C-alpha cells in the first residue's frame, strides 16, 4: 500500500517537472524560427492548431488521472 502511494507521489512529481518541457515544445511546434532565428507563425491553422494547443492540457490530465488511480488502488487494497 505504501509503495503504491509513493509511486503515485512520484508520478505527480516527475510529471509536473516535465510539464514545462511539454508546454515549451508545444509552443515551439506552434511557431517555427526562420533563418534569422526570429519566431514566425507556422502553417498550423484550424483544427490542428486547436488540438496542438490542447496537448498540454491532456498531458496534465493524464498525470493527474494516473496518480489518482495509483493512489485509489493503494487505498482500496487496505479497505478504504
What residue has cell string 498525470?
63
Per the CB < 8 A criterion, the answer to whether 5 and 74 are in contact is yes
> What is the value of pTM for the model shown?
0.75
Q: How many CB atoms lie within 10 A of CB 6?
A: 12
Q: Provide the number of structural domains found in the chain.
A: 1
At a CB cut-off of 8 Å and minimum separation 6, what does 53 contact?
A: 26, 30
* pLDDT tens-digit profile, the chain (80 residues): 677 778 888 888 999 999 999 998 888 877 776 666 676 666 677 888 889 889 999 999 999 899 888 878 877 887 76
Determine the structural domain holding residue 51 and report its residue range: 2-77
Per the CB < 8 A criterion, the answer to whether 56 and 29 are in contact is no
Amino acid at each position: 500500500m505504501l509503495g503504491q502511494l509513493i509511486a503515485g507521489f512520484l508520478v505527480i512529481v516527475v510529471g509536473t517537472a516535465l510539464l514545462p518541457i511539454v508546454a515549451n515544445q508545444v509552443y515551439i511546434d506552434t511557431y517555427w524560427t526562420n533563418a534569422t532565428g526570429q519566431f514566425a507563425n507556422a502553417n498550423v491553422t484550424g483544427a490542428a492548431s486547436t488540438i496542438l494547443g490542447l496537448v498540454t492540457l491532456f498531458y496534465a490530465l493524464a498525470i493527474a488521472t494516473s496518480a489518482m488511480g495509483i493512489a485509489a488502488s493503494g487505498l482500496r487494497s487496505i479497505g478504504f
